[in-house]
Amino acid sequence: MNFTGAHILSISQFQRQDVDQIFSVADRMEPYALRKRVTRVLEGAILGNMFFEASTRTRVSFGSAFNLLGGEVRETAGFESSALVKGESLQDTARVLSGFSDVICMRHPQEGSVADFAAASRVPVMNGGDGANEHPTQALLDLYTIARELKAKGRNIDGLRIAMIGDLRHGRTVHSLGKLLSLYDNVQVTLVSPKELALPEAIVENMRSAGVEVSISDELNNSIANVDIVYSTRIQEERFTSKEEADLYRGKFRLNQAIYTQYCEPNTVIMHPLPRDSRSDANELDSDLDNNPNLAIFRQTDNGLLVRMALFALVLDVVDKVDEYSHEVRWYNSRQN
Ligand code: CP
């Protein structure tokens, strides 16, 4: 695809070679993300970071990625601090904000809302999560992490075995990741959820038609026995009609070090899009896994910076100018010690 000026709305818009291109640019962003060098390539550019639903890492990661390329960030967080509460349409919001910004990142609780917004925007829009639909940049950073974890073992994404666990019905990260894995060969996916929270049938069918071997289970322990990646997800309480309904499923698939040691192959990688629900009635990834070197959850968040920097560089067409507008770091860098 031609990235220049493109909206990033869904994994469905990518072919495998597009993903390869994003990952190759992401690799080149590492010196800047690690503060070994500074680039000012986006000096003067403005990111409109519009988050109408709770977020820590996606919002700050988009903002930090843009800052690391030298751009400025203007932010709105929550409906209550935007004119949407006064009845302004998403389309008018897009018409206004695209006059202020060079690119806009947006999260919104309604499925399809970011695409509607993008249709009225004069600048590229990136989907930071639209309801229970998709979270394409999370899937890209997840797959980038998977590629890096496998590369360390002399493997690549083809032939991957992964278990995706939890609220697969509402979890937009697994919707996007399932679509993304369909671009690769000989992938085996085990879907582990209560049947009420199963991955939407249309996504399962698409994966199967693309050649992914999909198996379905509602039991954790044996499902994680023969996989390279355990990808756990949170019960998406905000998508249920009540907390009581979410409580029916919370805590059903807890992974801790004892279960990991008993059931997983050595060096099985543990992933989660985060936030993990660490409350005692959920505890989906126990803190006793925190010292397990195969816990990749914070490598995922670090990799998210690289992938989002790559997307900005591609969409704003500065990939080949990033190094030209760079200089050395002047401050103390704790990452190098
Ligand atoms: N993974 C993710 O979307 O996290 P946030 O909700 O904190 O952005």
Question: Counting atoms of ligand 1 from 1, which one is nearest the CA of 54?
Answer: 6
Protein residues whose CB sits closer than 6 Å to any atom of ligand 1:
55-59, 129, 135, 138, 273-275
- The pLDDT-based confidence of 209 (bands split at 50, 70, 90) is very high
Condensed to tens digits (0 to 9), the pLDDT of residues 2-59 reads 999 999 999 999 999 999 999 999 999 999 999 999 999 999 999 999 999 999 999 9
Question: What value does the mean pLDDT take over residues 200-209?
Answer: 98
Which atom from ligand 1 is nearest to the alpha carbon of 135?
A: 3
Going by pLDDT thresholds of 50, 70 and 90, the confidence category of residue 337 is low
Task: Among 127, 274, 278, say which to mutate for ligand 1: greatest number of ligand atoms within 8 Å of CB.
Answer: 274
pLDDT reported for residue 333? 86
The answer to whether residue 81 scores a pLDDT higher than 90 is no
Res 131: pLDDT: 96
**Does the pLDDT value for residue 99 go beyond 60?**
yes
Helix axis angle, 172-181 to 201-209, nearest 10°: 10
Q: Please tell me the distance between residue 140's alpha carbon and the centre of ligand 1 in angstroms.
A: 14
Cα-based angle 290, 157, 146 (whole degrees, multiple of 5): 20
Contact, 104 vs 124, CB < 8 A? yes
Strands 269-271 and 229-232 turn out to be parallel
**Residue of the nearest CA to atom 3 in ligand 1?**
58
Report, as residue numbers or ranges, the catalytic residues. 57-58, 86, 107, 135
Spatial separation of the C-alpha atoms in residues 168 and 163, rounded to whole Å: 11
* pLDDT over threshold 90, residue 335: no
CA of 301 to the centre of ligand 1 (A): 9
Is 118:125 a contact under the CB 8 Å cutoff? Answer: yes
pTM score, whole prediction: 0.96
- Residue nearest (by alpha carbon) to ligand 1 atom 6: 55
Q: What is the mean pLDDT of the chain?
A: 96
Six token digits for residue 71: 């751009």
Q: Is the pLDDT at 282 greater than 90, yes or no?
A: no
**Mind listing the domains of the chain with CATH numbers?**
11-134+303-336 (3.40.50.1370), 136-298 (3.40.50.1370)
